[in-house]
Structure 1
């Protein structure tokens, strides 16, 4: 837009200057010709005034002096055929002027003859002043050069002013675009500065109002989800009391551990929904994956489900928080337990990659449709949010999620994570 405005102003200024300077240039040339003709006429008349009053020697001296002073060739044609001053042949224009008529005529080579007729007792004398093409255009080129420089200067000034005006328009618009991209990226604190023309200021105020409204709606949503999550604490308290009242200590401890894990999950939900943005943390994937697989191995043992765990021998840092990675592993393992029959083997493999880590959860069940990757879609009676949680965690950590289902059955969900 900035370049287009500059080109538009340049084209408009150029057209205006052409319409103004071309007639002015023609007027300068015409004024130069008229000035040269007027000067030559004055010279011819001053010499003509001496005819009949001085002798031929004095007349020739006057003509030569005037010619030398002004640079014009001056000749005097007397009635008897004598030529005084610059020696030249009688042209047709001289013959015409000898009939008693003063005139000007074009001369060979683009010049002009100025002829003044003087009536005398013995006949008509003619004073001729020759103007060359250079005499007629003296000073024109300098004037045209000045006009050209003036035009270029005006065009340059116009382009500079157009560029400043374009910047005054495009800079606020670029700022609006930058703020909109920040809002789209989740930075709800971004606001546009209401600067520039009234229309752009109005757009900036409208964008700020929209951002404020979005922030308010998200805040209400967070508080609503937090309130709903908080209500779960009451039944959790009841479950904990019942677990503590069990007579079997091992059963009470096991059930109490499950209740504590659920309580931590509810607390994590409340904390997450009240955060304005999700901070990108880091953790040791080896430790987190090992801990979560150990937690789920109890249920796998109860269901006679073989569970294979493959971990690297060294810590493996990834660009996501321990809570998010734990929730991801839980979601993937819960999917296996919920959608495959008891006794179906499963495996968890965590391996390092050049750019981070790769987590693969594989089961030997009937397989999963690729539609399950869509949020809210599930192959069974579930919410369909488990895989979406895993996908969003991987993407926030600079990775991806893929789901493969071989023809002979089974499903492998592979997540990649970048290093912090």
Structure 2
């Protein structure tokens, strides 16, 4: 918008300047020619006096003509009736003959400028028009590069440049007054998920300020709805905690047996599902609209949390992290920590003690990271889709890998299970970069 406005103003002002300055340049050239004609008229009067006073003596006239031609921009020539001429341009034409016969001075436009013809009376000794000499003064048209004309053209060109530059500066300021407030609003709209970003102060034209006010009003309403949603989720979590606790106490009061164990497991699954629902409802509060977390350090630190348990069970837990700068992914820090917990807990729960674990973190082409967890356990069952929610081949809730898969897909990646090089299970999690 700003560039288009500047180009439009430059084109419009350029056409106006051409329409104004070209006629002014022509007028300046005509004025310069008029000044030369006026100066030539004064010189011609002096020449006329010399020719009239000299009479038939051409010697004084020749000396004077040579001297005046050396000091003047015009060219003076004295033409006598006998066909002789004193000056650099001898020779007559019809205009000279007509001026001699009529005895009248004249000014004519000729190629390259103008000429002044003045017949000179030689006094009483004159025999009439046939004996009358004519003084011809040729005034050349001013050159573009001559002193006064060149200065006038430079002044006009400078004036045009100043006017054009001023118009462009004004157009730039006007365009900036529109573009900068809109740019700030666009930046604010792109970072609405970042709670550290404050709305820009109203500025710019009335329409832009109205747009900013509407955007801030919309953001306020969204934040109000999110606040109410969080309060509702918190209230739901609190209300569910009491009946679940009551059920657990009643189950523990039952006599030991299969029914008690089965009810206890069902209640555990219910607790896991409730925690998952509450966690998903609070996702926007944790990560905002656009999540972005340096993943290498978070994943490595959370994996190191499991090292003491691995040592207690006689397992080898290796963690391979690339060196260099960290890499951001499109997920919150709590979700990344929960992802590592889900994957490692799955290994610890479903593999025998002493089975080794290898966790590898690598940078992903195009941004993001790839997390790979290999184990030396029995591997995944062939007849069960362990990634599908609620599906499990080991009498569990079936939510672990489903949660990990959801985190991966929401980041722009995915999750794949397979066999590790040692014959156990392998989980490859692809985490995409922030949007």
Report Cα offsets for 1:216-241 as digits up to 9, x if no partner.
11111111122222221121121232
Task: State the 1:20 CA deviation.
Answer: 0.6
Task: State the 1:254 CA deviation.
Answer: 9.9
Q: Does 1:45 align with 2:45?
A: yes
1:401 to 414, 426, 430: 414
The residue that corresponds to 2:366 in the other structure is none
Distance 1:353 1:161 in 2: 55
Distance 2:194 2:406 in 1: 14
Worse overlay, 237-246 or 10-19:
237-246
2:237 to 225, 229, 236: 229
Distance 1:19 1:399 in 2: 60
The residue that corresponds to 2:422 in the other structure is none
**Structure 1 residues 233-244: aligned runs within 5 Å:** 233-244=241-252
2:155 to 105, 125, 146: 146
The residue that corresponds to 1:123 in the other structure is 128
The residue that corresponds to 2:171 in the other structure is 162
Worse overlay, 216-225 or 69-78:
69-78
| Contact preservation (8 Å) 1:286, 1:312 | no
Structure 2 residue matching 1:357: 3-state secondary structure? strand
* C-alpha distance 189-266 of structure 1, shift in aligned 2 (>3 A): farther
Structure 1 residue matching 2:127: 3-state secondary structure? coil
* C-alpha distance 99-81 of structure 1, shift in aligned 2 (>3 A): same
| Contact preservation (8 Å) 1:351, 1:357 | yes
Structure 2: 5+ residue stretches without partners: 327-331, 364-369, 393-397, 420-424
Distance 1:164 1:323 in 2: 50
Distance 1:198 1:167 in 2: 14
| Contact preservation (8 Å) 1:360, 1:415 | no
The residue that corresponds to 2:329 in the other structure is none
Q: Does 1:103 align with 2:106?
A: yes
Q: CA RMSD in A?
A: 4.9
* C-alpha distance 266-155 of structure 1, shift in aligned 2 (>3 A): same
The residue that corresponds to 1:284 in the other structure is 302
| Contact preservation (8 Å) 2:29, 2:142 | no
Task: State the 1:195 CA deviation.
Answer: 1.2
| Contact preservation (8 Å) 1:179, 1:192 | yes
| Contact preservation (8 Å) 1:173, 1:200 | yes
Distance 2:135 2:174 in 1: 63
* C-alpha distance 27-378 of structure 1, shift in aligned 2 (>3 A): farther
Task: State the 1:166 CA deviation.
Answer: 2.1
2:202 to 188, 194, 198: 194
The residue that corresponds to 1:219 in the other structure is 227
Distance 2:413 2:157 in 1: 64
* C-alpha distance 150-62 of structure 1, shift in aligned 2 (>3 A): same
Structure 1 residue matching 2:286: 3-state secondary structure? coil
Structure 2 residue matching 1:276: 3-state secondary structure? helix
| Contact preservation (8 Å) 1:230, 1:266 | no
Structure 1: 5+ residue stretches without partners: 293-308, 338-346
